[in-house]
Structure 1
Amino acid sequence: MLNPNLDDIQLSKDDYERYARHIILPEVGLEGQKRLKAASVLCIGTGGLGSPLLLYLAAAGIGRIGIVDFDVVDHSNLQRQVIHGTSWVGKPKIESAKHRILEINPTCQVDLYNTRLSSENALDIFRPYDVVIDGTDNFPTRYLTNDACVLLDKPNVYGSIFRFEGQATVFNYEGGPNYRDLYPEPPPPGMVPSCAEGGVLGVLPGIIGVIQATEAIKIILGSNTTLSGRLLLYNALEMSFRELKLRPNPVRPVIEKLIDYEQFCGIPQAQAEAEQEKAAMQEMTVTELKALLDSDAQDYVLIDVRNPNEYEIAQIPGAVLIPLPDIEQGPGVEKVKAVLNGHRLIAHCKMGGRSATAIRILKEHGIDGTNVVGGITAWSQEVDSSVPQY
Structure 2
Amino acid sequence: MVLRLANRVKALTPSATLAITAKAKELKAAGHDVIGLGAGEPDFNTPQHIIDAATKSMNEGQTKYTPSAGLPALKEEIIKKFKKDQNISYEASEIMVASGAKHALYTLFQVILNDGDEVVIPTPYWVSYPEQVKLAGGVPVYVEGYESNQFKITPEQLEAVITDKTKAVIINSPSNPTGMIYTKEELTKLGEICLAKDIVIVSDEIYEKLVYDGNQHISIAQISPELKEHTIIINGVSKSHSMTGWRIGYAAGNKEIIKAMTNLASHSTSNPTTTAQYGAIAAYSGSQNEVEKMRQAFEVRLNTIYDQLISIPGVSCIKPQGAFYLFPNVQKAALQSGFSNVDEFATALLQEAKVAVVPGTGFGAPENMRISYATSLELLENAVARIKEFVENKIK
Which entry has the higher C-alpha Rg, 1 or 2? 1
Query: Would the TM-score normalized by the shorter structure come out above 0.5?
Result: no
- Bigger RCO of structures 1 and 2 (CA < 8 A, at least 6 apart): 2
TM-score for both structures, normalised by structure 1: 0.31
Structure with the higher helix share, 1 or 2: 2
TM-score for both structures, normalised by structure 2: 0.30
